[in-house]
Structure 1
Amino acid sequence: MRASRVWLACLLLVPTLACEAGGQPPADTPARDRAAGSAAAAGGDESLRAEALSLLDERERALVEGDREAFLATVDPDELGFSATQARWFDNLARLPVGDVSFELGDEEALADDFDDGELRLPVDFTMRLRGFDSRPVTDKMVWTFVHRDGDVLLVGDRDEEVDLVNGWIPAPWDLAHIEVRRSGGILAVFDEDTSQHATYVMSDLADATAVVRRHFPEWSGRYVAYGTSDTTGIAEMSGMTVDQTAGVAFPVLARPDGPVAAYRFAVNPTVVGDVLARGLVFRHELAHVALGPTDDRSPVWLVEGAAEYVARSTMPVDERRRIAAYQLGGASARTLEPTRSFYRDPTLSYNLAAVVCDYVATTRGVAALWDLVRSFRTARVFSAAQTEGVVRRELGLSTRELSAQALAWARSA
């Protein structure tokens, strides 16, 4: 599945194919000094605030140096659940190629009720980069809660649901469970305790899928991060369909909530991780989205998904693809192809029809015709379905209804 810069669209599980800003202090200024010009909340405990800001520097240093004991010493041990998740989070990051790590004081004006019942809440910008995979560091906006405990200032929380909702935060696998990380060449895959048993086979299938997709997009680096974990929180948030209908979702990772894009990654449904028959198809589809990146952000949804599905199915002989399409589409009739997210209301029909249309264009007119159509939408000024149809007609000489009629006839004549 592939979405725009907000969300990338989803691949359906079908039975037949399984399926800087000026005036700011330097970034390396310690947190205590960075905050010298910030006005504290009225009535706030300045001692607590100063020590809390110092704690930011301690935690950053501990994380950069890999000092687990020092990192966990900043957490309130009486908060057993939070202590456990912090230990797990530290261990998870240690398994990843993490760089450019920093904790910075965020925008305090955007956070209400800083002080409450002896607690201090501060906005914190956590920044890191997956070296070799992210084009720039990625910043996660957090809210840390501090308390005085036995003469010390300690951390008792690091998230705020409302802030997370506003920023559209989607937890990564390392935020949710113990992870296992596998790396081979340009592939970085993240598993958890439930999916790691399939890791060796998944890595092999990912390598095969990468080779196929690079043949279609030779300019693509072939470097990416894939999530194969059992938690479907991210898929549920990003997919235009239900989790059960969604085999995978490719998505942009923003350097900050308002962009730009630092990387494209993809996650697959845990049912796919263990499905030897479905994995290759799903991996090729999602990797086509990753390889295309922003190239098709402005394409109609049918073209976004159909082009990826064409790549996914391209390993099969063309006559076999035609016969499969004819079987999947049954008695379906020609229709105008859906350019919006309404595409996902009837995903089985939508995916299969988009796939056969894109396959028909690529096979009968040459694959360059398909990618030229995708590229044409990057510069086209399209604000309506009619204008979308106009681009297709200008490029191919047909409406999408006419294209679908010809594609269906082509498939059924195999």
Structure 2
Amino acid sequence: MRASRARLACLLLLPTLACQAGGQPPDGSPAPDGPGRSAATAGTDGSLREQALALLDERERALADGDREAFLATVDPDELGFSATQARWFDNLARLPVGDVSFELGDEDALADDFDDGELRLPVEFTMRLRGFDSRPVTDKMVWTFVHEDDVLLAGDRDEQVDVVNGWIPAPWDLAHIEVRRAGGILAVFDEDTSEHAGYVMSDLADATAVVKRHFPDWSGRYVAYGTSDTTAIAEMSGMSVDRTAGVAFPVLARPGGPVAAYRFAVNPTVVGDVLSRGLVFRHELAHVALGATDDRSPVWLMEGAAEYVARSTMPVGARRRIAAYQLGGTSARTLEPTRSFYTGDPTLSYNLAAVVCDYVATTRGEAALWDLVRTFRTARFFSWAQTEDVVRRELGLSTKELSAQALAWARAA
């Protein structure tokens, strides 16, 4: 499944792949940077604020230097749960190829003045970059709570309302202890429950990468994959329930509303241990990753059908036709769904019909015809999803209903 640039994308309805459609690229330019650390806030205790800002610098140095003791010395030991998660978070980042680390004061005008009884809340922008995988640093907007007893210490680093406004979705290293595996351009993140499958998963990821690169030879083949047991992020990203979602491919924004720094994908932990479906899911999601922003304006049937065509391309064409004929049974020709309604109603039918149409176009007209259609939508002028039918007719000479009729006849003739 493919997500919007503001949120995320890709899901699989077993045994049929299902992914969520992307939206239009965000309008406008990235928000300007927040004020510098020297800015003053009216009504706050100057001494507490100065010490809080000094603590930002201490934590930044400790994280950049890999100094665990110094990093944890900035945390309030009375907040036992927070102390434990901070220790876990530091250990997780130490396992990743992290660079460009910084903590900067954010836009204080966007946060209510919360100074009271020795406590201060400040907006903080945490920036880091996964070296070799992110095209630019990624900034996460946080809210830190400082307390002042003998010293100024950190007692919290998130605010639920701010996270909702910014659309924050936690990464695996924010949620549990992680295990990291790296091979060539693949960086995979597991946890204690899924790491037992890591060796097999890495092998299958390498195989899937090779297949997808044959379809997209200009793709770098470098990416980050999540295979952890916590499904919090998948639940946030998917348009369907977690138990029906096999994976999501999604853009990582450099900042809320900003440019894309990377495309990644996450898979349901049930897929991590499923030797039969892993390869299909990986190829489907990697097709979305490889396409990146190229298909942002494609109708959903084309976005998902093209990824499923790539996923199934390892099978002989005759086998693909027979499988499609079986899956679609007595299905009649129909107009293909261009909107997110693709994922509701009968998503299994939506995926199978889109897959056979894209396979039919690529096999009978050459694969270039399929990618040309995707590229056409990238620049085509249309103002409603209904008008995408005109784009298809201009490019291929047929409506999507006519295409589905020909594709079904082609599959059933195998």
- The residue aligned with 1:39 is 40
Range with greater deviation from structure 2 (357-366 or 329-338)? 329-338
Query: Relative to 1, partners in 2 of residues 1:51 and 1:211: Cα closer, same or farther, differing over 3 Å?
Result: same
1:35 maps to amino acid: R
- The residue aligned with 1:98 is 98
Cα distance per residue 1:221-274 (max 9 Å; x no partner): 000000000111111111121111111100000000011000000000100000
Tell me, in whole angstroms, the C-alpha distance in 2 between the residues paired with 1:202 and 1:102: 33
- The residue aligned with 1:192 is 191
- The residue aligned with 1:340 is 339
Contact 2:124 2:142 (8 Å CA) reproduced: yes
Cα distance per residue 1:87-143 (max 9 Å; x no partner): 000000000000000000000000013213321000000000000000000000000
Structure-to-structure mapping, 1:123-138, within 5 angstroms: 123-138=123-138
Query: Relative to 1, partners in 2 of residues 1:309 and 1:87: Cα closer, same or farther, differing over 3 Å?
Result: same
- The residue aligned with 2:22 is none
Contact 1:10 1:241 (8 Å CA) reproduced: no
Tell me, in whole angstroms, the C-alpha distance in 1 between the residues paired with 2:11 and 2:34: 43
- The residue aligned with 2:352 is 352
Query: Relative to 1, partners in 2 of residues 1:303 and 1:22: Cα closer, same or farther, differing over 3 Å?
Result: closer
2:79 maps to amino acid: E
- The residue aligned with 2:392 is 392
Query: Relative to 1, partners in 2 of residues 1:157 and 1:336: Cα closer, same or farther, differing over 3 Å?
Result: same
Structure-to-structure mapping, 1:174-185, within 5 angstroms: 174-185=173-184
Contact 1:41 1:115 (8 Å CA) reproduced: no
Structure 2 unaligned regions, length at least 5: 20-29
Tell me, in whole angstroms, the C-alpha distance in 1 between the residues paired with 2:375 and 2:283: 20
Contact 2:11 2:248 (8 Å CA) reproduced: yes
- The residue aligned with 1:168 is 167
Contact 1:114 1:120 (8 Å CA) reproduced: yes
Tell me, in whole angstroms, the C-alpha distance in 2 between the residues paired with 1:105 and 1:24: 7
- The residue aligned with 2:294 is 295
* 3-state secondary structure, aligned to 1:277: coil
- The residue aligned with 2:148 is 148
Tell me, in whole angstroms, the C-alpha distance in 1 between the residues paired with 2:397 and 2:162: 49
Query: Relative to 1, partners in 2 of residues 1:24 and 1:344: Cα closer, same or farther, differing over 3 Å?
Result: closer
Structure 1 unaligned regions, length at least 5: 26-33
Deviation of residue 17 (structure 1)? 7.7
- The residue aligned with 2:114 is 114
* 3-state secondary structure, aligned to 1:244: helix
- The residue aligned with 2:84 is 84
Query: Relative to 1, partners in 2 of residues 1:275 and 1:217: Cα closer, same or farther, differing over 3 Å?
Result: same
Tell me, in whole angstroms, the C-alpha distance in 1 between the residues paired with 2:17 and 2:306: 16
Cα distance per residue 1:186-223 (max 9 Å; x no partner): 00000011100000000000000000000000000000
Structure-to-structure mapping, 1:257-268, within 5 angstroms: 257-268=256-267
* 3-state secondary structure, aligned to 1:372: helix
Deviation of residue 24 (structure 1)? 7.8
TM-score, structure 1 length as denominator?
0.95
Contact 1:4 1:298 (8 Å CA) reproduced: no
- The residue aligned with 1:270 is 269
Query: Relative to 1, partners in 2 of residues 1:21 and 1:380: Cα closer, same or farther, differing over 3 Å?
Result: closer
Cα distance per residue 1:366-394 (max 9 Å; x no partner): 00000000000010122213310010000
TM-score, structure 2 length as denominator?
0.95
Tell me, in whole angstroms, the C-alpha distance in 1 between the residues paired with 2:111 and 2:17: 48
- The residue aligned with 1:213 is 212
Range with greater deviation from structure 2 (224-233 or 238-247)? 238-247
- The residue aligned with 1:31 is none
Tell me, in whole angstroms, the C-alpha distance in 1 between the residues paired with 2:34 and 2:197: 47
